[in-house]
Structure 1
Amino acid sequence: MIDKNPKMLLKDIAYEKIKEKMMKGNEGYTSENTLVQELEMSRTPIREALNRLQHEGFLRIMPNRGIMFTELTVDERNELIDMRIAVETYSLKKAVQRMDDRHIEQLKRIIAMQEEAYQKDDFYELLEKDSLFHQYLLEIVGNSHFIKMYRHARDRQFTVRAGNWLRNKPDVLKVFIEEHMEILNAIIEGNVEAAVQLLEEHLKKGKL
């Protein structure tokens, strides 16, 4: 399938790399020429990825001026958090009913990977593994629409400014890891109500 559609593959690679640049970088802008050089790709997949990212609200393409990464308003950010709370707490109740030792061990591994990234001061990897914890809980239930909504909301939360805010608050990032462990412990103990409450409180801390 990949061999039959190489253009789509390149477009998707460009899309992910540009999003990663938004999260890793300190600048709120770039240009098509800069992306061509940095990503070592042709203009066609980069333009397709940029058009998609603009449609999704991640950036603005300004002719003859460059590309500006957009930031969420406080209201937009809080609305995304409310959506995540609704989706993730609902899914957690169902996920707990389906969990076995294999799922528990995988969640422990994800938290261990978070801790390792924190010790290495690898901010981007830490965010990736933080995201993986939440996504894995959704994957246990397997609702593809919930997973898609989650991925979009998560990506929109961590734009340049939000990423810089977190990067400068290592204590907050450490607390996130500890809270994941608390959620998992509640799951292991079979206390679904506590796990759901802890998850909701955890997500609410993302509000501004």
Structure 2
Amino acid sequence: MPGSLLSENELAENLGMSRTPIRSAISRLESEGYVSSLRNRGILVKEISFKEMMDILEVFRYLQEYSVEAVMEKNNTFNIEELEQYLKNQLEAEESNDYPRYVQYSLLFTRSMINASNNQLFVQIIDSVKDKLMQAAIVNWKLTPNQKHYSANLLNQSIFEAISKGNLSDIKQICKDNFFRSKESMIISGKI
């Protein structure tokens, strides 16, 4: 959890590894912004800031909207079968209260949608931030067990329905509304 202090020695012992691969992993996590090494104190697990979270959600929103434009203007297509399967898996994860699985399939749904833009850089951008988004979602889920979660199910159902009916222009508004709802929800829950 964010704020936790980790020890190289304890990690090596718990994982049954030498400290060399542990140091390598910590170095990578530090370069990716997940942890900070504190001299003579350990490794601090960093929290994702409200600003960083909103930046990530904004990128997702604009890439989703662009994928719709690419389908409409460039005659690209959404992979309906793939989107439907990811949505189905996402809904099943909610039924079994498997939140990490739900987040995973929600992100795969969005990735599949953005893949329709036929822009590999956009897909790489999503891949580069998906782990942070997943971490933030799971931490929020653990810290707020009494709040309603699984909101991306309604979002992705709405998007899938619009795609299925050919109402692609509706998706931009759906994504925009969701972004502002997410922002408002984070403000209300005290994430800023």
Is the TM value for this pair above 0.5? Answer: yes
Q: For the Cα contact (< 8 Å) 1:71–1:159, is it kept in 2?
A: no
Superposition deviation, residue 84 in structure 1: 2.3
Aligned counterpart, 2:190: none
Q: Is the alpha carbon distance of 1:119 and 1:67 closer, same or farther for their aligned partners in structure 2, counting shifts above 3 Å?
A: same
Aligned counterpart, 1:61: 37
Aligned counterpart, 1:98: 76
Q: Is the alpha carbon distance of 1:147 and 1:42 closer, same or farther for their aligned partners in structure 2, counting shifts above 3 Å?
A: farther
Superposition deviation, residue 26 in structure 1: 7.6
- 2:157 is the counterpart of 1:181: yes
Count of equivalent residues? 180
**Which AA in structure 2 matches 1:82?**
E
Aligned counterpart, 1:112: 88
Superposition deviation, residue 88 in structure 1: 2.4
Q: Residues 92-171 of structure 1: matches in 2 within 5 Å?
A: 92-95=68-71, 97-99=75-77, 103-159=79-135, 162-167=137-142, 168=145, 171=148
Q: For the Cα contact (< 8 Å) 1:95–1:137, is it kept in 2?
A: no
Q: Is the alpha carbon distance of 1:44 and 1:107 closer, same or farther for their aligned partners in structure 2, counting shifts above 3 Å?
A: same
Q: Is the alpha carbon distance of 1:26 and 1:61 closer, same or farther for their aligned partners in structure 2, counting shifts above 3 Å?
A: closer
Percentage of identical aligned residues: 25
Q: What is the TM-score with the length of structure 2 in the denominator?
A: 0.79
For residues 114-165 of structure 1, the C-alpha deviation after alignment (integer angstroms, 9 at most, x for no partner) is 11111211111111111111111122334222122223333223436x5232
Q: For the Cα contact (< 8 Å) 2:67–2:115, is it kept in 1?
A: no
Q: For the Cα contact (< 8 Å) 1:58–1:69, is it kept in 2?
A: yes
Q: Is the alpha carbon distance of 1:127 and 1:27 closer, same or farther for their aligned partners in structure 2, counting shifts above 3 Å?
A: farther
Instruction: Provide the secondary structure at the position in 2 that maps to 1:68.
Output: strand
Superposition deviation, residue 54 in structure 1: 1.0
- Tell me: higher relative CO, structure 1 or 2? Use CA pairs within 8 A at least 6 residues apart: 1
- 2:177 is the counterpart of 1:201: yes
For structure 1, list consecutive stretches of 5 or more residues without a partner in the other structure.
1-24
Q: For the Cα contact (< 8 Å) 2:37–2:44, is it kept in 1?
A: yes
Q: Is the alpha carbon distance of 1:136 and 1:73 closer, same or farther for their aligned partners in structure 2, counting shifts above 3 Å?
A: same
For structure 2, list consecutive stretches of 5 or more residues without a partner in the other structure.
187-192
Aligned counterpart, 1:31: 7
